[in-house]
Amino acid sequence: MIAPESPFCGGREGHALSTMMSAIRTSLHLSALTLSACLVAGCANGNAINLPLSDRGNIQLPADTAKPLFDLLTFDGRRNLLYVAHTSNNAIDIVDTHGRKVLASIPGLAGVKQIALTSDPDVVFASASTSGEVALVDTRALKVLARISVNGSPDSIGYDPVHDTAVVASSGAMELSLIDRTTRKVTSTIKLPGAPELLTVDPKGGRAFVSINDKDEVAVVDLVTSQVTEFRGCDIKAPTGIAYDGDQDRLFVANRGLVSVIDVLLDKCLGSVDIGNGVDQITLNPHKHHLYTANGGSRNLSVIDTVSLQPLGEVGTGPSGDGVAVDPATDLVYVIVGRAGIIAVYHDP
């Protein structure tokens, strides 16, 4: 069922909150303009401006027989592996981030969109939108263990370690499917208020946060009771990428040219930060307390301080830079550059 709208940005306080958010956005926008001006013209004291990330080269991905098409990235620090949804090849590319090379590709995953880690470092879930299924994959043995059919076209996928289940968003069916890793079966489906885009899972709280792209809102889903609460306002417009910071209980939601920030515990909108356009995946670095947003439309990557909520700058990535992942142990940031068929590697800073 769908619970009433959360009070953090609605009701009688809406006008005051709107005024507050406008002031915050204006301040942040001016900060971004000041930084951009310094990057272009140089600051008055003549000192060099440090970019938020430094270039560390790239990793070549397997060639395509047609136009390259990739989706989202997933990093696993337990094995130092980067999983790449290589959609045009219907495969998962497995990249050794220490050796900076592709170890293998696992084919037969039609329209693969995203990979979700599990409690077993050798086993992942993968959403295959074209075939309408979720695959359970052994990435050490390089084989598909099971294929589980779900309604609609599975897209974004996460993992709930509390209940050892995959959480899968299906855009056509406008629902979440929960899949038990042990039984390899769908245990529950939960209706959503609109078309889901990307999702993230609270690893301790047993809940999922889902961007509802056509409703300008975020759905918060209790994975036990199936209760859905709708969050609106806070400058959320056609949301896409989403990330949850459990240390601060903050939710970061990517929209059209900005990231909205919500204090989940207090049901309070903290404001919005300007970023690039065409953002898809966003990811958090808990070591640096930084957020990275892959702005495919602007061909760049934005960096935000998640504590002060200040923009730290942007670096160019190239066309179709839509997926991003980070290794918090090394502060290396990985960005998919789709048209070139490479993973661009950066270090923070």
CATH number at residue 277: 2.130.10.10
C-alpha torsion sign, points 230, 242, 261, 24? negative
Domain encompassing residue 233:
2-347
d(CA 125, CA 144): 10
What is the arithmetic mean of pLDDT over 64-81? Answer: 95
Q: For position 224, what pLDDT does the model report?
A: 95
Indicate whether 2 pLDDT > 90: no
Q: Which long-range contacts (CB under 8 A, 24 or more apart) does 308-314 make?
A: 309/28, 309/261, 309/270, 309/271, 309/273, 310/28, 310/31, 310/273, 311/28, 311/31, 311/32, 311/35, 311/273, 311/274, 311/275, 312/35, 312/52, 313/35, 313/39, 313/51, 313/52, 314/52, 314/275, 314/276
CA 261 to chain centre: 14
pLDDT cut 90: percent of the chain above it: 81
Least confident of 46-50, 251-255, 264-268, 293-297: 46-50
What is the number of structural domains in the chain? 1
**Per-residue confidence (pLDDT) for residue 318, from 0 to 100:** 84
pLDDT at residue number 321: 83
**In the chain, what is the greatest distance between 2 CA atoms, to the nearest angstrom?**
64
Backbone angles phi, psi at 41, to 5 degrees: -100, -15
Averaged pLDDT, 202-228? 97
pLDDT at position 40 is: 41
